[in-house]
């Protein structure tokens, strides 16, 4: 997990992006963490970075990736649902009703794939929520 960002930093990022960061994710960045990586980027949530190009995504906010295959997580700003999709196709393959529901579900699931020392139990088992 990374240190939270300030409201000023989020506002600066929104100006650079030319879009508003959805409130639920803005609250997460400012009050919980400026992104994080679970088990060496098996799941990564992105925080304030210097460049994003989302010109073709009106109501979606890309917020994470899975290292295993580059699949993505995005926030649908119309309903605050979190969606999981393939690397090159934004069709939802799985969704959660909220950011907190996704985090709870994925952290429990991912921790079950690793032993107490943080080593993957079975390298042949995908670490994504859905096998693509």
pLDDT, average across residues 100-125: 94
- pTM comes to 0.64
Residue 70: pLDDT band by 50, 70, 90 thresholds? very high
- pLDDT reported for residue 50: 44
Residue 95: pLDDT band by 50, 70, 90 thresholds? very high
pLDDT, average across residues 15-39: 88
Residue 49 half-sphere exposure, CB side, CA atoms within 13 Å?
A: 11
- pLDDT reported for residue 56: 45
Q: CB–CB of 29/10 below 8 Å?
A: yes
Cα–chain-centroid distance for residue 47?
Answer: 9
């Amino acid at each position: 997990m990374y240190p939270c960002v300030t409201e000023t930093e989020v506002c600066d990022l929104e100006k650079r992006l030319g879009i508003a960061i959805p409130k639920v994710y803005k609250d997460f960045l400012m009050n919980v963490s400026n992104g994080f990586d679970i088990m060496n980027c098996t799941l990564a949530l992105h925080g304030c970075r210097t460049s994003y190009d989302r010109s073709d995504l009106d109501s979606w906010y890309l917020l994470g990736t899975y290292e295993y295959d580059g699949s993505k997580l995005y926030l649908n700003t119309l309903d605050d649902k979190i969606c999981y999709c393939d690397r090159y196709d934004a069709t939802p393959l799985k969704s959660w009703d909220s950011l907190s529901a996704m985090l709870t579900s994925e952290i429990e699931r991912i921790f079950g794939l690793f032993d107490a020392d943080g080593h993957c139990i079975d390298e042949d088992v995908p670490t994504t929520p859905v096998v693509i």
